[in-house]
Structure 1
């Protein structure tokens, strides 16, 4: 537990100021550091950089994206009302001590007005020098279109719920109102107005998130393949798409029409699309890659020890989905038994090995509670749901066996054939094998393993065509609701297909509550229901963010939300 508290403190220090609506301040995140020298060739002026963050992306449409790797690409190609920049000074390509959320398409801080009916109106003035990559001006209507499209049920965007604080958003998602009735408007080309149902404390972060980035209606409408061709992939960020060789690479080059094009130091940014971690490490050591954020499991300890691999802060949880809608995991006793049989200490110490914390709840350490960054975090306040102390593991196993027997499967007798699904990756494979062994040893249950390529896996998991599967969640903003609203019935990211009307009722109240203490208390109740009463999922550990970067490069930075930014990288 001492280790847990120390890392939680580290996360709190790394994120020293809250980003609460109407409270001022900025949200901080770590600046990327450089690892000891690799064997790659020195970078030249006008850096041409090759990185690998994942294999073939599921989509390049910001509104449909639901992955961190897709979000990283979107942050280079598009720019929202707010953006992450290096140093507290703002957009400083020379680097700085922190990364902050700063103005992007917004030319100045918005005017926020509380209305007589309890709603809030945010008025953004847009930059008049902002242009799309084809030279056309970025207008407020581009935001209106993008936000209306996001909540349109016909699009079925996984994150269509993320702007539920906007007037009429919920009703539109439910098919009760037309997307044109969303509480957004454009009084003129450079004014974007948003009406909120309550004073949402994390709304600025929503205005930096990929799925709310602006889109051009004339580009998107009537062209289902607009993201596939650089000629139609019109973007407004510092980079633009040059080419996409499927399952090989995505190449970006500077967008000459970007309003701050002079600050972009990367002459070419190539995302190599790979899922073989050994091939990634080899390419990094050979100088073919300048950055990787995944390495072979059996190399992790050595790379950490020699300083080549850096473990950064990360607000996220690696977990197991049980398919709550199908037998035998429609029984909470079965789910709890499988959860308690997991030796989390073994997994983080012998399998993942990048300083992760064994998960004793769902929301990780470092996520703010009511007191914000100056008080205890949500996990510390909420306590633990099961002991992760090594000396208590056998007691957990005994309870697991008892629960499985109560569910009708004494010593695993009669338990149906089940499969654990995961996407192709060395670490996921090693974790899957460890889980398979634990469930056999503790519960006498046979679990078959099945791995799929990333895009196939995402589809299979989302559709619920599995018994048990791996999952991971990285916070979209520093608020517990980012971890809790996803388990509301019908949510596009609710891969466990969990449904509890009482949970929905609590979270619906949370999503309309401006009172900090009151909404936090409700979210603790929701987590109690999710973890203790229903045991809908099995969290394994709280993430760290490992990465390796060419020691000849400076200026990369990232946030604990998982977004790496390479736009202002320079050679030493």
Structure 2
């Protein structure tokens, strides 16, 4: 076959494939509103995910105690119709509305939140955001498990056997008592035992109903030898600051005043889950569309892997009268250029982000487009250093890499209005000044690298940058960074691209040298960025562990004076940027493309847009709320241009 005939055949196949796809879509009734949701969601269990694609779906099918305003992101009534705060700011009393319903028609009660919050804190759940609930009294101790118990603690023991008549995936029988003794196995008497090996090396003596009993934490009921096998021993959940006063009253008691607590309980990870559904079907089967029971404005009609999730308006939702879109399609579109093409050809109504090159063209369009209006975002694009690996465990090496980075050159290539970042916390939060590291300084970078034992890069091992697929600029940025470091420091750097799930797994397990990361603030406070680097935070994927830093974050949590609290948080960020476990690259601006006739879609710092608020105005052709004045970052925080003191 000649080359021309081969090309013609390939073109014909592409056309036939496109026609087949269009015909298959034609069999599906059109949605009222369609959007690109990026990559395939990892799960529909709110406790175990941490990505934006998951969040957009979970906020639609579940409702927390509060909703977050689509414009201001302030807490407003959700399942809780009102709440009170104690004078000391530590106790919140939530009054749940009596007309909240699950999609199976049963009432949503305070018991559902109690169950869901306990499950969220349970170490066996392995919740990505469990630390968000550690503001609750004894929440941290519950999650950290047996290794953090002390003699005299009130504890609960979960056995492998379930009570008779309970659902197949319910917790095992739970015994309650007092911890009498912790006995280490003799062969490990003089050895350090890791927390995750604690159960294998210790016997816990617990007084249950006046009788001392010996327990061993095991994976199976037949592994305990002379002790009684159990799945877990935790501090008694009755000691945790979550309690039910009645079916419609929930109380949360915090360790310290936490001004952002109402906004935090509106985060999708804090969604309630239906106990009967979870315990009947088990994980992950309970999250399948045919099984899942939800309480939000939308229900899942179906999910097609590598295609879409179709949402339909729930007729059980308490506020269904305010929900105007009946059917929504969340399309799985890994490629940003594909998403842009779908938008431009009228097949979707909202594309949440675009390739940088396209954003540049959109910004330069004349006349200005009425469907594109970038705005500041509470989000940072950065690299994590694996501080547990040589040579990145040397702060001088990390500083050298940071100083050798020319962010302006990177943004000249891939940017579209984003400002360079020199701090983890973006600007824009009242009362806080981001603590910046130093900007590009090649001479100082070379000096530090030589001081660390690698003059002109000699002897420096080859290192690798890990990044995920799904956005073309990740690869472009990694290549630019690689070239800068190679040319300026004489070191050898390579890139490694992985699909989203594998990337998440490897970054969480520190299977990398340098890893691309980004963080969107979960609530409007610097703490949402800074507590990531607390030693035991599940999102701390750098290996950085500094007791003094942990103490500063804890002190900020206990501080009641707002100004003093911000000062403590600034000290913490200064320490973080001096240690340089991360390398800020740029601060995000939003790049939504949204049809001009869409209402209820607002620019906000979190770039979060609840589907419940969106509606279509068939008579609207001009700009909507989204197009109101939203200036990009101003010059109130000038970027550094030279090395200053101890800053890196």
Task: Report the TM-score when normalising by structure 1.
Answer: 0.83
Tell me which of 163, 184, 190 is aligned to 2:133. Answer: 163
Name the SS for the 2:591 alignment partner: strand
Contact kept in structure 1, 2:79 and 2:97, CA below 8 Å? yes
Q: For 1:489 and 1:242, how far apart are their aligned partners in 2?
A: 41
Name the SS for the 1:235 alignment partner: coil
> Where does residue 433 of structure 2 map in the other structure?
378
Name the SS for the 1:125 alignment partner: strand
The within-5 A match list for 1:134-283 is 134-175=104-145, 176=149, 177-221=235-279, 223-283=282-342
Tell me which of 52, 65, 69 is aligned to 1:81. Answer: 65
Q: Max radius of gyration: which structure?
A: 2
Tell me which of 70, 77, 84 is aligned to 2:54. Answer: 70
Contact kept in structure 2, 1:47 and 1:571, CA below 8 Å? no
> Where does residue 549 of structure 1 map in the other structure?
594
Tell me which of 421, 426, 430 is aligned to 2:466. Answer: 421
Which consecutive aligned stretches of 4+ in structure 1 deviate over 4 angstroms post-superposition? Answer: none
Q: For 1:562 and 1:297, how far apart are their aligned partners in 2?
A: 17
Shift of 1:83: 0.7
Shift of 1:315: 0.5
Contact kept in structure 2, 1:119 and 1:197, CA below 8 Å? no
The within-5 A match list for 1:475-494 is 475-494=521-540
Shift of 1:99: 6.1
Say whether residues 1:107 and 2:81 are aligned partners: yes
Q: Label 1:456 to 1:180 Cα distance change in 2 as closer, same or farther (>3 A).
A: farther
Contact kept in structure 2, 1:318 and 1:543, CA below 8 Å? yes
Query: Which consecutive residues of structure 2, in runs of 5 or more, have no partner in the other structure?
Result: 1-29, 150-234, 619-648
Q: For 1:313 and 1:49, how far apart are their aligned partners in 2?
A: 25
Shift of 1:100: 4.7
Say whether residues 1:346 and 2:405 are aligned partners: no
The within-5 A match list for 1:269-418 is 269-306=328-365, 307=369, 308-353=371-416, 355-369=417-431, 377-379=432-434, 382=435, 384-387=436-439, 393=440, 396-418=441-463
Q: For 1:178 and 1:153, how far apart are their aligned partners in 2?
A: 13
Q: For 1:527 and 1:460, how far apart are their aligned partners in 2?
A: 26
Shift of 1:560: 1.9
> Where does residue 459 of structure 1 map in the other structure?
505
Name the SS for the 1:422 alignment partner: strand
Higher RCO (Cα < 8 Å, 6 or more apart): 1
Q: Give the root-mean-square deviation of aligned CA atoms.
A: 1.9
Tell me which of 461, 486, 489 is aligned to 1:443. Answer: 489
> Where does residue 124 of structure 1 map in the other structure?
94
Q: For 1:558 and 1:63, how far apart are their aligned partners in 2?
A: 27
Q: For 2:242 and 2:287, how far apart are their aligned partners in 1?
A: 29
Contact kept in structure 2, 1:144 and 1:186, CA below 8 Å? yes
Contact kept in structure 2, 1:158 and 1:491, CA below 8 Å? no
Q: Deviations over 1:381-402 (max 9, x none)?
A: x4x3213xxxxx3xx1111111
Q: For 1:64 and 1:557, how far apart are their aligned partners in 2?
A: 28
Shift of 1:310: 2.5
Shift of 1:47: 6.3
Name the SS for the 2:120 alignment partner: helix
Q: Label 1:530 to 1:168 Cα distance change in 2 as closer, same or farther (>3 A).
A: same
> Where does residue 189 of structure 2 map in the other structure?
none
Q: For 2:562 and 2:292, how far apart are their aligned partners in 1?
A: 41
> Where does residue 39 of structure 1 map in the other structure?
none
Q: For 2:337 and 2:264, how far apart are their aligned partners in 1?
A: 36
Name the SS for the 2:132 alignment partner: coil
Task: Report the TM-score when normalising by structure 2.
Answer: 0.74
Shift of 1:451: 0.6
Query: Which consecutive residues of structure 1, in runs of 5 or more, have no partner in the other structure?
Result: 1-45, 88-97, 370-376, 388-392
Q: For 2:597 and 2:254, how far apart are their aligned partners in 1?
A: 46
Shift of 1:48: 1.3
Q: For 1:99 and 1:212, how far apart are their aligned partners in 2?
A: 16
> Where does residue 10 of structure 1 map in the other structure?
none
